[in-house]
Amino acid sequence: MDIKHLVEKNRNYVMEMRRYFHAHPELSFEEFETTKKIAEELDKMNIPYEINEKLGTGLVGVVQGGKPGKTVALRADIDALNVTECTNLDFKSQNDGKMHACGHDAHIATLLGAAKILAEVKDELPGKVYLVFQPAEEVGLGAKAMIEFGNWYEETDNIFGAHVWSPLEAGKISVEAGDRMAAADRFEIKVKGVSGHGSAPHETIDAVVVASAIVMNLQSLVSRTYSPLDAVAVTVGSIHSGNRFNIIAGEAVMEGTNRYFSREVGKRIKEDMIRVCENTAAAYGATATVDYTYILGPTINDEESSAIAEEAVVKVAGPEALVKVEKVTGGEDFSFYLENKPGCFAFIGGRNPDVDAVHPHHSEFFNIDDKVLAEGSGVYAQYAIDYLTKNA
């Protein structure tokens, strides 16, 4: 099924949609108007959908093929960030303090472009395609909310998603198998010591000293607890303790994040962190408590799914578009979909100095070259077509 002509046919549409959504960003779980606009576009394509009424945001459309077969899902996230845009784009944000600074506007447009392609070839499809427009990826809660919505996830056999990627040259696409994005956990450590006068440290248990020791000892989790072949990052991002120069603090609070790719590390890291914190504090006569939250699991591409995606990229954009990108320690809630279903998560290059698309994700200057998004739509659609055809 050759869809290249449909990719070209929809190029301007995908660009227009990206620019519309860029100008109208909405924050996580507040994407009400965004959802309405997506619904309007699906109505024009005669694609049925169901809005997540419990949330009032997010929806799942369905393209039913003309022949029986498997079910594949295509996902795009739709939320923006609390960022004040500083670009000079003609279509810059019209909502003060809100910006599509991570590219989710491009994701919406790309999936809408894929929807148009699939709507035109649906009679030839052996199976069904769900179009998942997901809210609240930026807070790591949207995927779970959509999994609990309706029965689309239960019915799905395979799932595909993508992220525009600012470090990657526009027109290049990465879909390789294995580790792609890291787990992202959050922790809070509270240290309890004994406060006192700065001139009499022997009468106190200094929470600042204890917290400092904990920070240093936590690094042994990376260097001495886990295999050097496992990529693990333990970061204490903030320490708050004390309120005056001549008072020894009796309490300290630290917050941070852990990143890793191995699910085996994920099973151990909470207990290992508690052990280090409690024992370090005890050595000073203090106590430490750890509040640990698993936010996102690792995003790991299935080999068979990645092979299908590679073929799709070559068919739509040519072999020169297919590149390899090193795994990254950022997190993605697409990982929740992959916990129980095989699938693939792609990186679509958006970097182009000619349109000032050189700034990192979450920057107030963030931009992407949206001329290449039509190929992204094609890859989404081709992936669905090829998966269903191979499994018919």
Biggest CA pair distance of the chain: 82
CB atoms within 10 A of CB 318: 12
* Residue 213 CA to its chain's centroid (Å): 33
Q: What is the mean pLDDT of the chain?
A: 97
Paired tokens of 288: 């430490």
Please give the pLDDT value at position 333. Answer: 97
Cα atoms found within 13 Å of the Cα of residue 57, Cβ hemisphere only: 20
CB atoms within 10 A of CB 224: 8
CB atoms within 10 A of CB 199: 8
Contact at 8 Å (CB) between 100 and 165?
no
Per-residue pLDDT, averaged over 299-322, amounts to: 98
Residue 57 has pLDDT above 80, yes or no: yes
Flag whether the pTM goes above 0.75: yes
Please give the pLDDT value at position 2. Answer: 83
Paired tokens of 261: 């790719």
Numbered residues of the known binding site: 102, 104, 138, 163, 362
Burial of 281 (0-12, 13-18, 19+ CB in 10 A): buried
Per-residue pLDDT, averaged over 59-66, amounts to: 98
pLDDT tens for residues 238-290?
Answer: 999 999 999 999 999 999 999 999 999 999 999 999 999 999 999 999 999 99
Residue 300 has pLDDT above 90, yes or no: yes
Per-residue pLDDT, averaged over 18-47, amounts to: 98
How does DSSP classify residue 151? S
Residues 6+ apart with CB under 8 A from 136: 28, 29, 31, 57, 58, 77, 79, 142, 145
Contact at 8 Å (CB) between 348 and 208?
no
Query: Which has the closest alpha carbon to 1: 117, 96, 175?
Result: 117
Please give the pLDDT value at position 196. Answer: 98
Residues 6+ apart with CB under 8 A from 357: 166, 170, 350, 351, 367, 368, 369
d(CA 207, CA 215): 12
For 15, the 3-state DSSP assignment is helix
Query: Which has the closest alpha carbon to 347: 281, 285, 301, 279?
Result: 301
How does DSSP classify residue 359? S
Per the listing, tokens 């994700």 go with 361
Residue 215 has pLDDT above 80, yes or no: yes
Per-residue pLDDT, averaged over 64-89, amounts to: 98
Please give the pLDDT value at position 1. Answer: 76
Numbered residues of the known binding site for Mn(2+): 102, 104, 138, 163, 362
* C-alpha dihedral, 148 to 153 to 154 to 155, nearest 10°: 150
pLDDT tens for residues 224-236?
Answer: 999 999 999 999 9
Contact at 8 Å (CB) between 131 and 146?
no
Paired tokens of 275: 């052990």
CB atoms within 10 A of CB 238: 9
Which domains are seen in the chain, by residue range? 4-181+298-390 (3.40.630.10), 183-296 (3.30.70.360)
Per-residue pLDDT, averaged over 109-138, amounts to: 98
Contact at 8 Å (CB) between 78 and 103?
no
Residue 36 has pLDDT above 80, yes or no: yes
For 6, the 3-state DSSP assignment is helix
Checking phi first, is residue 7 left (phi over 0); if not, alpha (psi -120 to 50) or beta? alpha
Per-residue pLDDT, averaged over 74-94, amounts to: 98
